[in-house]
Amino acid sequence: MDFSEKFLNGANKFISFIMTLVFLILGSYGAYALWDNNKVYAAAKNVQADMLKLKPEVDLEGKASFEELLAINPDVCAWVSLDNTTIDYPILQGETNLSYINTDVYGDFALAGSIFLDTRSDRNFHDPYSLVYGHDMVEGRMFGDLSLYKNEKFFNENSTGELILPDRSYNLKIYAAITESSDEIIFNPDSHKDGLSGLMDYTEKNALYIRSEMTEDLMSRVNNENLQILSLTTCSAEFTDARTIILAVMENNLGSE
C-alpha cells in the first residue's frame, strides 16, 4: 500500500470516527432534551395536582375560602377553570408581568411558570376588562388547552367556565376566540377603563369565531358598569408572536357582591 492509499484509508477512518462522535453527541443531546421536557411537564402536572387539592369551594353565597392558597403565596388572587379542558388553576399577580412567567405558585423557578393576571388589571377583578396570561404547553398544561377553541366544533360546543374570588364568583360565558399578535386592544387593559365598546368592535372584526347570539346583547351593555370581560391569552404558532385569545363574559354568580 503506497502513501496515498494509507493517507486516504486513515482519512476515511478519521471521518468515520468524527461522524460517529457527532451522532453520539446528537443522540445524547436529544435524549437529554426529551428527559428535560418530560421533567418540565411532570413538574407542571405535579404542581397542578397539589393546587387542585386546595381549590376553593364556592358556598351558597358565591364566596370561597382562599386561606390555604394565600398561606402558600399571598399573590394568589383568583381561580379560573374552563369546562371540558385541563384549565383549572389559581391566578397570581406579581409585581411585574415577568414575576410568574417562569416561577410557580411556590415561588420556585419553573419553565411552566404560573397563570397570572396582568399588573395593570385590578387584582380584585372590578375592572371592565381583565387580562390573564399562561404558557402554551403540550398535554393541555397551563393554557395549552386554549388552542382547543380554535376548532370550530369545540368552540361551538364549549362555552362555560368559572372564575372564583374570595368574596364572590363568576360564571364565565366564552363568546369569542381570536388569533392575534400584540394588539393594544387586547394587551393593554388600561384602554378599557372607560368602557368596552372598542373591544366589542374589534372582536366583531377580528374574531376567529364569535357567538353571534350574544353580540346584540353585549353591544347593548357596553356602557353598563356590570359588564365585565375576562381575556385569557397564550402563545400560538400561526405566525411570529401569534397569540390565542379567549374572551369570556363574567356573569356574577348568585348576584353576590
Residue given cell 418530560 in the structure block: 38
Beta strand ranges found along 23-168 (DSSP E): 76-82, 88-92, 115-117, 129-133, 160-164
pLDDT at 200 over 50: yes
Q: Are 203 and 247 in contact (CB under 8 A)?
A: yes
* CA–CA gap between residue 19 and residue 30 (Å, rounded): 16
200-209 average pLDDT score = 93
Q: Are 229 and 249 in contact (CB under 8 A)?
A: yes
Q: What is the CA radius of gyration of the chain?
A: 24
Q: Could you tell me which residues come within 8 angstroms of residue 155 by beta carbon, excluding any fewer than 6 positions away?
A: 149, 174, 177, 209
Residue 39: inside a domain = no
The pLDDT of residue 237: 75
Q: Mean pLDDT score of the chain, rounded to an integer?
A: 85
CA separation (Å) from 85 to 80, 159, 200, 211? 11, 11, 26, 19
The pLDDT of residue 43: 64
The pLDDT of residue 238: 76
3-32 average pLDDT score = 55
CA angle (247 as vertex; 55, 170 as ends), nearest 5: 40
The pLDDT of residue 20: 62
Q: How confident is the model at residue 91 (pLDDT cuts 50, 70, 90)?
A: very high
2-24 average pLDDT score = 58
Residue 152: inside a domain = yes
The pLDDT of residue 172: 97
Q: Are 93 and 117 in contact (CB under 8 A)?
A: yes
Question: Can you list the alpha helix ranges (DSSP code H) found in the chain?
Answer: 3-52, 67-72, 152-157, 184-187, 197-206, 212-219
Q: What digits encode the pLDDT tens for the residues 125-176?
A: 999 999 999 999 888 889 999 999 999 999 999 999 999 999 999 999 999 9
The pLDDT of residue 255: 46
CB atoms within 10 A of CB 118: 20
Residue 246: inside a domain = yes
The pLDDT of residue 181: 76
Residue 222: domain span:
54-255
44-53 average pLDDT score = 86
Please give the tally of structural domains in the chain.
Answer: 1
Residue 245: inside a domain = yes
pLDDT at 12 over 70: no
Residue 86: inside a domain = yes
Q: What digits encode the pLDDT tens for the residues 60-78?
A: 888 899 999 999 999 999 9
The pLDDT of residue 74: 97
Q: Which CATH number characterizes residue 183's domain? A: 2.40.260.10
